[in-house]
C-alpha cells in the first residue's frame, strides 16, 4: 500500500516544462510546450514541407503582399506562438493586419493568430487534431486548415465557441476557395508532389 501511495505522489510532483527546456531541444526538432509538457517532433518530411511551403506562398502573395489578392494580412511560416502557458509552432499562421499592425519586438508572437494551417503527418496528426485544436479554440483562433499531403486533402474548420465546425473538405487536384481566403482560388495541384492516391 505504501509503495502505491509513494508512486502516485512521485508522479504528481513532475514539474511543468519551462521555456529553458524548450530552448535545450536540438535544432533538428520542433519543440512545443502543450499543457505543461515538452513535446518534440521531427522537422517536416520533404512532401509535407513542400505542401506547406506551396500553400504558404499562395496565401502570402495574395493576402500578405496584396499581389493577385486583397492584402490585409500577415502570413508567417512556423511562428512560435506563446498562448497562455502553451508554446505552439503551427506550420503557417495568419493575422489580420488590423490586429497585428507591427511585428512583435520579441522572438515569438504573444497574440493568437486569426488563421492557422497545420500540415498533418503520422507523427503529429493526433496532436494537431486534439490538444492543439483545443488550444486554438481557447485562444479564439477563427479558422484552422488541416492539410494532409499523403491523402491530398484540405479540411477547413471554423470556430464556433469552444467547438470546431468542419465547413469544407477538398480532395485531390482542382482548386480551393475557402474562408478566410475565399477571395482567391488556390490551385491544389501545386501542393501535391504526386498524383492522387487511387
120-146 tens-digit pLDDT: 999 899 999 999 999 999 999 999 999
Quote the pLDDT of residue 196.
53
| pLDDT, tens digit, 9 for 90 and up, residues 144-179 | 999 999 999 999 999 999 999 999 999 988 899 999
Q: H or E segment at 138?
A: helix 131-138
Mind listing the domains of the chain with CATH numbers? 44-190 (3.90.1570.10)
Distance of CA 121 to CAs 42, 126, 138, 157, Å?
10, 9, 24, 18
> What residues form DSSP beta bridges with 118?
146
Residue 1 has pLDDT above 60, yes or no: no
CA distance 98 to 111: 12
Global pTM reads 0.89
Cβ atoms within 10 Å, residue 99: 12
**Pairing relationship of beta strands 29-34 and 37-42 according to DSSP bridges:** antiparallel
Reading across the β-sheet that carries 163-171, which strands appear in turn?
Answer: 73-77, 92-96, 115-119, 143-148, 153-160, 163-171
Reported confidence tier of residue 195, pLDDT bands at 50, 70, 90: low
Amino acid at each position: 500500500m505504501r509503495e502505491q501511495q509513494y508512486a502516485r505522489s512521485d508522479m504528481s510532483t513532475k514539474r511543468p516544462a519551462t521555456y529553458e527546456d524548450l530552448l535545450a531541444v536540438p535544432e533538428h526538432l520542433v519543440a512545443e510546450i502543450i499543457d505543461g509538457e515538452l513535446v518534440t517532433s521531427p522537422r517536416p518530411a520533404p512532401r509535407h514541407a513542400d505542401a506547406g511551403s506551396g500553400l504558404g506562398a499562395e496565401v502570402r502573395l495574395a493576402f500578405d503582399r496584396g499581389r493577385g489578392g486583397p492584402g490585409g494580412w500577415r502570413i508567417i511560416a512556423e511562428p512560435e506562438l506563446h498562448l497562455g502557458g502553451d508554446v505552439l509552432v503551427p506550420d503557417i499562421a495568419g493575422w489580420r493586419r488590423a490586429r497585428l499592425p507591427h511585428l512583435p519586438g520579441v522572438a515569438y508572437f504573444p497574440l493568437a493568430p486569426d488563421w492557422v494551417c497545420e500540415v498533418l503527418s503520422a507523427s503529429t496528426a493526433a496532436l494537431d487534431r486534439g490538444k492543439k485544436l483545443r488550444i486554438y479554440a481557447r485562444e479564439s483562433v477563427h479558422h484552422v486548415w488541416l492539410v494532409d499531403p499523403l491523402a491530398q486533402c484540405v479540411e477547413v474548420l471554423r470556430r464556433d465557441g469552444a467547438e470546431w465546425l468542419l465547413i469544407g473538405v477538398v480532395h485531390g487536384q482542382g482548386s480551393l476557395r475557402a474562408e478566410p481566403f475565399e477571395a482567391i482560388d488556390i490551385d491544389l495541384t501545386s501542393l501535391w508532389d504526386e498524383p492522387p492516391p487511387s
